[in-house]
Amino acid sequence: MKRSPAALGLALLLASCGSGPARPQDPPSGATVTLRGKSFDVTHFVKDPERRYAPDQAPKVDGGHWVLCSWDRDRIVHLFSTRRDQGYCVAFLDAEGKVVEQALLPEAWEEGQTSKIPVRHALLLSPGWAKGGIKVGDVIGFSAAVAAAKVDPLPVIKVADTPVHVEPSHLLSQRMRGLMHRPRLSKDEGMLFLYPQAEERSFWMKNTLIPLDIAYFDAEGNLLNVRRMKPAADPAKGGELKAPSAGPARFVLEVNYGWFDARSLIDAEGKPVKPVKLEIPDHLRRLADQAE
């Protein structure tokens, strides 16, 4: 789900990445991984937004230096790239470091790559490794520094006392991209859009591949309405499918289609059948206050 043309969203995304955390130039001492007995230095991303935008934020990979992104739980991982000086081979790993999938992420490929199953890590290597250099079933060994790294969890919100792990989006570039180009989303996850104030809002389904429940909440966290949205026959033209709020909304949550119906929270028109409250941790409320 996004709210502006792709070209503008891409430009703003590049601007956002450029003004974000500086790209690490050297791996932390002892941060290495091994493959078939050979050791490689890694830059290890363990928190957002660095790991969320790792292909853009990371130093260039080469034959002796890779990038590792880690999460604290198994989840569907989506990575995309806007940079034109680096493509990647992406190896998706389970909790033990076993390669369960590998894919090619070309230069400046906005569509990105998404793991087919929940995974724990994503390893970024130079593209040549995709041609038989790393294979499904290979086991990546982690150094003590990598294994002991503190991995930040995704923030957890609650909707009617039910926890949801979310990717927060408070920058304009993040909100514009939203969940577009992703073919799947973890069942207990979503994206939370944060705004500095409550306003009438409307989302669309351009380049959106996932059927979604789009829930609008006011400034106090009260559910206004939910729009049940399915992808357009041609997702690239999905901007014709509009999903307006039923009042001034400050928080918008996108989760898998049917999430709210499965919990009997809304009626046939998407209105709450009882008061439904969004509970947001303080650090996300502060992020909303800083939102663009």
Tokens of 5: 């043309």
Do 66 and 141 lie in one domain? The reply is: yes
Do 186 and 274 lie in one domain? The reply is: yes
* Banded model confidence at residue 261, pLDDT cuts 50, 70, 90: very high
Do 62 and 108 lie in one domain? The reply is: yes
| Mean pLDDT of all residues in 127-131 | 92
- Amino acid type, 66: W
Burial class of 262 by CB neighbour count within 10 A (0 to 12, 13 to 18, 19+): exposed
Do 114 and 177 lie in one domain? The reply is: no
**CA 96 to centroid of chain Cα atoms:** 22
| Residue 14: inside a domain | no
| Residue 9: inside a domain | no
Average pLDDT value over all residues in the chain: 91
Do 27 and 126 lie in one domain? The reply is: yes
> What per-residue confidence (pLDDT) applies to 29?
56
Do 74 and 161 lie in one domain? The reply is: no
Do 216 and 281 lie in one domain? The reply is: yes
Percent residues over pLDDT 90 in the chain: 88
Domain ranges, residue 162? 156-289
CATH of the domain at 72: 2.60.120.1140
> What per-residue confidence (pLDDT) applies to 170?
97
> What per-residue confidence (pLDDT) applies to 93?
98
| Residue 69: inside a domain | yes
Do 89 and 166 lie in one domain? The reply is: no
Number of domains in the chain: 2
| Residue 7: inside a domain | no
**CA 207 to centroid of chain Cα atoms:** 15
pTM value surpassing 0.85:
yes
pLDDT digits (tens, 9 = 90+) for 18-44: 333 344 444 455 899 999 999 999 999
- Using the 3D structure, point to which of 147, 181, 203 is the last residue of a domain: 147
- Using the 3D structure, point to which of 107, 127, 147 is the last residue of a domain: 147
- Using the 3D structure, point to which of 147, 182, 197 is the last residue of a domain: 147
Q: Is the pLDDT of residue 250 over 60?
A: yes
Contact 102, 135 (CB under 8 A): yes
Query: Residue 75 pairs with which residues in a beta bridge?
Result: 119
> What per-residue confidence (pLDDT) applies to 63?
85
Q: Is the pLDDT of residue 73 over 90?
A: yes
**CA 155 to centroid of chain Cα atoms:** 12
Beta strand pairing call for 65-75 and 38-45: parallel
| Residue in 281, 292, 133 with CA at minimum distance from that of residue 221 | 281
What is the C-alpha to C-alpha distance for residues 222 and 238, in angstroms, rounded to an integer? 28
> What per-residue confidence (pLDDT) applies to 83?
94
Do 123 and 193 lie in one domain? The reply is: no
The dihedral of CA 63, 31, 25, 113: what is its sign? positive
Do 29 and 59 lie in one domain? The reply is: yes
Do 104 and 173 lie in one domain? The reply is: no
| Mean pLDDT of all residues in 1-9 | 41
Do 35 and 111 lie in one domain? The reply is: yes
| Residue 137: inside a domain | yes
* Banded model confidence at residue 234, pLDDT cuts 50, 70, 90: very high
* Banded model confidence at residue 135, pLDDT cuts 50, 70, 90: very high
| Mean pLDDT of all residues in 181-190 | 97
| Residue 8: inside a domain | no
> What per-residue confidence (pLDDT) applies to 1?
55
